[in-house]
Amino acid sequence: MGDGKVIIRAITTEKVCPTIQWDKLPAQQLNTRAQAANIPLRKKSDEVASNFPITTCEITWPKGVQQATIQGQTLQALKSEIERIVIIADTGCRLKAADNSFQDCNDGNKWPLKKIIQHALKTNPDLVVHVGDIHYRESPCPEGQIGCKNSPYGYGFDTWKADFFDPAKPLLDKTPWLYVRGNHESCQRAGQGWHRFIDSRPWDDNLSCNDAKNDAGSFSEPYAVALGAKAQIVSFDSANMPSKDMKPEDVSYAIYTKQIAQAEELAKKKSFSIFANHHPISIVLPTKGDSKDDLSLKLNSLGLLMKNIQGDTLLSSNFHASLHGHIHTVQAISYENLHPVTLISGNGGSALEELKTKNISLSQEQKKKMKIKEFESYLDFGYATFDRQDKEGLQWLFTEYSHDGKKIFSCVIAKNQIQCNR
């Protein structure tokens, strides 16, 4: 939740929330966050109503408590000094009629989230960071398409369960998670489930995304999660970032300008800070088509706004790295200026970017043109780990793994630079 707070959520088919036992203290009942509800269509183009036939319960973890038990399931307290983080993003199975894109959700190789979770679990992380886009099953599987036959769709609980809660269960059962909101969790899409299950803010009907005429829940302010005494992640909600450049008269311009300033203030509180938002503020992609020789460093609308505020570094020197998903590939980039290291890990299971090569490589000439110092990439399913390399948490190791747990490359991160090897 930020500010040193951790929250437990439980989803139950019962109307009454279960009890929880802290260490050996007497059992205490969880609070009801949201009752069961069948919510009418937000817009005519939605496929089905959002049915949530479950109760969402929650409680804040008390300070000093080491262990919690709910109905036989035991959870350990978040460590004060985080040593290892698992990073995943863009994990759901894509079913989207508007793009004529239907992934084979029933095939564990073509939608390998369950395998990714199982291998990530073996790394024994202290924390999991999901960098957004959890929910992808928006449209019904076409008649006769075996790969996604009988899949649920829409924005209700059955889809959240199939797309995330079931395959992610082994890690959800064991490890605390930090969630960064993606555009798939915007109010216009799966925001109802986001606020019901994941949003760190208290329940508020105005933030629920249930009423398309009142999407007050479209934006949320950044917050910091400590990785220890001197390191932290600043979570930034870019779910409603416009695809086009923001203009001063735009609502999003004023909101994001304010929130960038808030994030910068949070970054001052620790010696090592990671800016985590879903959309990569800078990324190397083909300029047109998919020629590996026609590449450029691109800024999205949030990155362009940051450039207006801060200049070419985009973020101040208080940030040492930025972490993203959204583009279904992996990249690690360091720059000639003080721009924070870019880490993109958007390959958690959803259909990959359609490029001809599994690795984008840059020539020395291309690096010079883009002012890039070091660059690594990978285009296939997988996950990453982030391992502390020193006592203070000022140096970390980013390692990319395939969906079956094989190491692809690793990069040491320190002082806004990376050193990578395969």
For residue range 212-233, list pLDDT tens digits in order: 999 999 999 999 999 999 999 9
Check pLDDT > 80 for residue 288: no
> Does residue 401 belong to any structural domain of this protein?
yes
Mean pLDDT of 133-152: 97
Percentage, residues of the chain above pLDDT 90: 91
Mean local confidence (pLDDT), 281-294: 73
Q: What tokens appear for 323 in the block?
A: 């972490």
> What is the rounded CA–CA span in Å between residue 325 and residue 185?
13
> Is there a contact between 230 and 271 (Cβ–Cβ < 8 Å)?
yes
Residue at 2 is within a domain: no
Residue 1 forms part of a structural domain: no
Is residue 264 a part of any domain in this protein? yes
pLDDT in tens, 231-259: 999 999 999 999 999 999 999 999 999 99
pLDDT tens digits, residue range 148-171? 999 999 999 999 999 999 999 999
Q: Tell me which residue range forms the domain holding 181.
A: 7-421
The amino acid that residue 366 corresponds to is Q
Report the distance separating Cα 396 and Cα 388, nearest Å: 5
Q: Is residue 47 part of a domain?
A: yes
pLDDT score, position 123: 98
Q: Is the pLDDT of residue 357 over 80?
A: no
CATH code of the domain in which 35 resides: 3.60.21.10
How far CA 221 is from CA of 200, 238, 248, 375, in Å, comes to 10, 10, 19, 31
For the whole model, what pTM was predicted?
Answer: 0.96
- Provide φ and ψ at 254, rounded to 5°: -65, -40
Query: Would 87 be classed as within a structural domain?
Result: yes
Residue 282 in any domain: the answer is yes
Q: What is the mean pLDDT of residues 173-194?
A: 97
Taking 60 as the threshold, does the pLDDT of residue 366 lie above it? Answer: yes
What is the distance, to the nearest Å, from the Cα of residue 210 to the centroid of all Cα atoms in its chain?
22
Domain count, the chain: 1
Residue 70 lies in a domain: yes
What is the rounded average pLDDT for all residues in the chain?
A: 95
